[in-house]
Amino acid sequence: MRKHLTLIIFCLALLTDVTSQDFYDINTINTVEITFLESNWDQILDQYYAAGDEERLVGTVSINGQVFDSAGIRYKGNSTYNANQVKNPLNIKLDHIIDDQTMDGYGTLKLANVYKDPSFVREVLAYEIARKYFPASQANFTNVYINGTHLGLYTSDQSVDKFFMRTHIGSDENTRVKGELTSSGGPPTGGVWEYYGEDSASYANYYDMKSDYGWDELIDFLAILNNNNTDVDESLNTDRHLWFLAFSNLLVNLDGPINNPQNYYLYKDDNGRFNPIPWDLNESFGVFTFHQSLGPMGTNQLQQFSPFTNLNESEYPIISKILTNDTYRKMYVAHMRTILEENFANGLYETRALEIQDIIDADVQADQNKFYTYSNFTSNLYNQVGGGPQSIIGIVQLMDTRTNYIQTLSDFQYDSPEIANVAHQPENVSPLTEVWFTADLTNTVDVYLAHRSNTHGIFEKTVMYDDGNHNDGQAGDGKYGVSLIAGSTDIQYYIYAENTDAVAFSPVRAEYEFYDISITSDLVINEFMADNENAVADQDGEFDDWIEFYNNSDTEVSLGGYYLTDDASEPDQWVFPDTIIDAGGYLIVWADKDEDQDGLHANFKLSASGEAILLSNPSLGLIDQVNYLQQKPDTTTGRYLNGVGDFTQMLPTFGYENSNILTIFDELETRTNTIVLKQNYPNPFDGVTNIDFVIKENSRVVLTVQNLVGENIATIVDAELAANKHSYNWDASNVKSGLYFYSLNVDGATIVKKMIVK
């Protein structure tokens, strides 16, 4: 049995050149250099901002040395922008003019200027905590230069755009709206999620529609919430919303929807439910101190901000229409207790804040345009900075006292159900077989198995029994059981238990985290390549996307009439002709929109930035499904162990057993500060290429080159080397063109990079 986070299922082994995860690695301080032809760029950007139409100035952007031409740049922000300051927040659209120009899938960069946060860590730390419990942006730090001038150190927050939605919610074309006051001339005012009737004009001041449509759907949701909220869980991802509320209240994020009608997103998933997503967390941890119901808040009020504030305020149905439900209230308390215990009661947040400050310390000192002094930076983690209305409470000053306060409240002292020994039988599950689920519980009244067979589907709750008739031992012994009939796709599940005072989950981060059972089908999607640049060519010499299928059974399978698609809303997008896949055999389908070519060529292409692949039988019953994230050039995602295992990134094994897993580590200098492996140059190349690396301790070093099937092509170094920079040449004049990998092993630690021989 394995436990997985919903957002990280398929991509656990990442390539060492900059990946989507590495771009937001907290240990990496990125460098963004913007070049405008216009010397008066600041004046132009100010004029665009004042006009309010989000026009962009075109310039060249270099990110860590990678150049992006014709990007569009504008200033952003409300209270954080000021025409008289040098360091304004930036919105950089890399694909402004050139389609699909992205940084590993990210088309838009959002850079915040660390306004009103002397500690520099609030936004990044808050996002890091949020990502443990529900979808939230990645965040780290970036130094920004414009026309050679250093503007300062910024926080870099992942845009809540289509790429974000595909990654976390599995679709990107549905209603997406940002909570935003569009005509505010002063402090934000107004309720949150109120219903104002059917005229969309009544909502224009509180929402910014980011999708091409959606007003009717948003208004329908608000009508249900306000007027018929017994059905609210059909239009709201209630569990995710409760995590969102618990996080927002605990971190006293008053510049958000628990107090102000702004700084969050709503996205309607394919199940028809809206999902809340946080945004703009720079004033979390008590920076924003005016509460619309309570008025100005001092230190004691921030520390003792009630978890149930606005519970009875009709202007805040976002809270009052949810937490008045007894079950939802208990779930909310359970979620807040989890966040408290995992981050604050144990002091982890303080440790992480210090670690983050250590990463950026030198860059904060070098920032000549920061809004506070370096002394403020070092002290604000613990102590208040400034005085009067401009004072900023210390993070530890707020959260240590707040943690103690919340833990003394009666709702947080009730004895919750205790869940242990969660298990399923049999261990290896085939389609259409019975699976028994069991768990040991104490102090409970009701126990449920929550389960689904689609990564982005809705969990269905099934009662579990302690009656001696459900594989649960003796009646009344505290062991609960129930069974399900497995389908063709993985089962994801968690245990939910409730008594009169409290609830409990296992895993405690459910529904965002869950247990997973892999279903071993006869016919599976075994491997796929969504960014084929130079790896495998079809019969016409074209490097197209491809999907490999494998037959796990000992008999041949006829695929005639089966369906293949990359769009769940169109499951019959492409139909297999009369095709046989042998017992233990492999079958390749090219996803290239070129059905006139010989062989199997589907009428769609795969997206390298992430989507889904679905295989269905002639009755449109789902046989297998893969949801994947950003793919890297000339690598594949495949099952390991072959045919039955989890998906991971690997070297291509086109039509062969998945056996040579590509186990790759991040650039180790970011972790151990001992090894640096440079990209070979030139690359691509013919003849000779250069390879440089740095070792900072005397070490045993092995530098080798391998082909796509893992065969060793050359050993360049195999020796004890002194701490230093080392440079070597590799002569590939007798090696055929194609993709190769070179690996540096230093005292057992390995880094791998790609090279292309022309």
Q: What CA–CA distance (Å, rounded) separates 722 from 198?
A: 74
Q: Are residues 745 and 690 in the same domain?
A: yes
| Number of domains into which the chain is organized | 4
Q: Are residues 628 and 716 in the same domain?
A: no
Q: Are residues 569 and 601 in the same domain?
A: yes
Q: In order along the chain (758 residues), what is the average pLDDT of each group of 10 residues?
A: 29 32 85 98 97 95 95 94 97 94 90 97 98 97 98 98 91 94 70 96 95 97 94 96 98 97 96 97 97 96 98 96 97 98 98 97 98 97 90 98 98 98 93 95 98 93 98 97 92 97 98 92 93 88 94 94 91 95 96 93 91 92 87 88 86 82 41 65 82 86 81 90 89 82 81 77
H or E segment to which residue 366 belongs: helix 348-366
Please check whether residue 616 lies inside any domain of the structure.
yes
Q: Which domain holds residue 753?
A: 668-757
Question: Judging by DSSP bridges, how do beta strands 749-757 and 738-746 pair with one another?
Answer: antiparallel
Please check whether residue 407 lies inside any domain of the structure.
no
Q: Are residues 568 and 475 in the same domain?
A: no
- How far from 84 is each of 41, 42, 113, 671, CA to CA, in Å? 14, 10, 14, 40
Place of tokens 């900059």: 18
> What sign does the dihedral 420-426-429-433 (CA atoms) show?
negative
Please check whether residue 92 lies inside any domain of the structure.
yes
Q: Are residues 18 and 75 in the same domain?
A: yes
What per-residue confidence (pLDDT) applies to 2? 34
Q: Are residues 675 and 625 in the same domain?
A: no
What's the CATH code of the domain at 582? Answer: 2.60.40.1260
What per-residue confidence (pLDDT) applies to 185? 55
Q: What CA–CA distance (Å, rounded) separates 17 from 25?
A: 13
Q: Are residues 527 and 509 in the same domain?
A: no
Q: Are residues 51 and 23 in the same domain?
A: yes
- Cβ-proximal residues to 1 (8 Å cutoff; 6+ apart), any chain: 422, 423, 424, 427, 515, 516, 517
What's the CATH code of the domain at 504? Answer: 2.60.40.10
Kindly state the DSSP code that residue 603 receives in the 8-state scheme. S
Please check whether residue 123 lies inside any domain of the structure.
yes
Token digits of residue 573: 């997008």
Question: Judging by DSSP bridges, how do beta strands 699-706 and 738-746 pair with one another?
Answer: antiparallel
Burial 40-50 (b: 16+ CB within 10 A, else e): ebbebbbebbe
Please check whether residue 460 lies inside any domain of the structure.
yes
Q: Are residues 529 and 494 in the same domain?
A: no
Please check whether residue 434 lies inside any domain of the structure.
yes
**Exposed/middle/buried for 313, CB within 10 Å: 0-12, 13-18, 19+?**
middle
Decide which of 468, 498, 516 is a domain's last residue.
516
Q: Are residues 507 and 561 in the same domain?
A: no
Token digits of residue 525: 């999607």
Q: How many CA atoms lie within 13 A of 610 on its CB side?
A: 24
Please check whether residue 715 lies inside any domain of the structure.
yes
Decide which of 650, 677, 711 is a domain's last residue.
650
Please check whether residue 89 lies inside any domain of the structure.
yes
Token digits of residue 170: 């599995």
What per-residue confidence (pLDDT) applies to 709? 60
What per-residue confidence (pLDDT) applies to 183? 62
Of residues 498, 368, 406, the one with CA closest to residue 444: 498
Helices (H) and strands (E) counted in the chain, each on its own, are: 12, 41
> What pTM was estimated for this model as a whole?
0.82
What's the CATH code of the domain at 746? Answer: 2.60.40.1930
Intra-chain end-to-end CA distance of the chain, in Å? 45
Longest dimension (CA), the chain: 81
Structural contact between residues 534 and 508, judged by C-beta atoms closer than 8 angstroms: no
Q: Are residues 683 and 592 in the same domain?
A: no
What per-residue confidence (pLDDT) applies to 577? 95
Q: What CA–CA distance (Å, rounded) separates 691 from 340?
A: 48
What per-residue confidence (pLDDT) applies to 23? 87
Q: Are residues 484 and 585 in the same domain?
A: no
Q: What CA–CA distance (Å, rounded) separates 280 from 137?
A: 10
Decide which of 516, 550, 575 is a domain's last residue.
516
- How far from 496 is each of 331, 418, 425, CA to CA, in Å? 10, 10, 19
